[in-house]
């Protein structure tokens, strides 16, 4: 199935209205993105991106709230200061217990959780090495200061750092949430591309022609699919019935 930029604009408008427009939380987050690149913002967005992969935003938010209760903090300097014993204690406290028939039972911390947290700990230590925000921006983003100036080249910069759990899709998500106009090829974007036989580049061209910011489309599609489609396996059926 092919699509024109006019058809894409109509579909976008219907999805935007269906999710509540400007009052939608995801749209509010998109519009309230920071204007200046800082280590604190990068750390927060990276932690979120690493943990939201494969999960819903609601589940991720709930999980990170529990992590904060167990001692995690958004201050990367503090996380960078943790020694191995403190890191292990934190992961054990958060992941090492489960409830069976109302009784707590100890369990090994899942390897996937260890891998994600170790990546986050590594990032915190890396950020703490820089004496100033500008030194960080020079190294990570070629000296860019304004979030709006972030683009595809910065996505590739992150990928090239070869940080565990920070692959291209995650890098897209981080850079978009920091202020760039970018599309994360997540499960919903993949289904949308397949549905209309589009490449990512072609979708971006159509959006540009339709006057729709890439990041806004990404946020609207995600929110719409989470609210109304819910399962990837029924995307074609439900998207066809509801969004068109």
Which has more pLDDT, 235 or 55? Answer: 235
Give residue 100's pLDDT band: very low, low, confident or very high (50, 70, 90): low
Q: What is the pLDDT of residue 57?
A: 80
Q: pLDDT for 29-71, tens place per residue? A: 888 888 999 999 999 999 999 999 888 788 999 999 999 999 9
Q: How far is 212 from 209, CA to CA, in rounded Å?
A: 8
Average pLDDT over residues 92-107: 77
Q: pLDDT for 137-157, tens place per residue? A: 999 999 999 998 998 899 999
Q: pLDDT for 106-116, tens place per residue? A: 788 999 999 99
Q: pLDDT for 6-31, tens place per residue? A: 999 999 999 999 999 999 988 998 88
Q: How far is 174 from 238, CA to CA, in rounded Å?
A: 29
Task: Give which of 111, 140, 135 is closest to 123, Cα–Cα.
Answer: 140
Q: How far is 53 from 36, CA to CA, in rounded Å?
A: 25
Q: How far is 32 from 95, CA to CA, in rounded Å?
A: 32
Q: How far is 209 from 131, CA to CA, in rounded Å?
A: 43
Task: Give which of 117, 78, 115, 75 is closest to 94, Cα–Cα.
Answer: 117
Q: What is the pLDDT of residue 105?
A: 73
């Amino acid at each position: 199935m092919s699509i024109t930029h006019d058809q894409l604009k109509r579909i976008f408008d219907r999805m935007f209205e269906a999710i509540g427009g400007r009052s939608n939380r995801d749209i509010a987050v998109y519009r309230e993105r920071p204007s200046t690149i800082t280590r604190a913002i990068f750390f927060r967005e990276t932690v979120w991106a690493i943990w939201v992969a494969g999960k819903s935003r609601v589940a991720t938010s709930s999980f990170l709230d529990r992590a904060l209760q167990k001692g995690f903090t958004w201050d990367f300097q503090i996380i960078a200061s943790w020694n191995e014993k403190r890191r292990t204690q934190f992961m054990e406290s958060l992941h090492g217990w489960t409830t069976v028939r109302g009784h707590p039972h100890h369990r090994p911390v899942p390897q996937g959780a260890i891998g994600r947290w170790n990546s986050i700990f590594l990032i915190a230590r890396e950020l703490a090495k820089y004496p100033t925000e500008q030194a960080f921006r020079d190294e990570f983003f070629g000296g860019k200061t304004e979030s709006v100036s972030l683009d595809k080249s910065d996505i590739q910069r992150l990928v090239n750092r070869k940080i565990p759990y920070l692959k291209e899709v995650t890098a897209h998500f981080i850079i978009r949430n920091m202020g760039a106009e970018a599309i994360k090829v997540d499960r919903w974007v993949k289904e949308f591309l397949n549905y209309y036989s589009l490449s990512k580049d072609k979708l971006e061209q159509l959006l540009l022609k339709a006057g729709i910011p890439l990041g806004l489309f990404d946020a609207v599609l995600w929110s719409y699919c989470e609210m109304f489609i819910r399962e990837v396996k029924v995307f074609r059926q439900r998207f066809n019935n509801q969004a068109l």
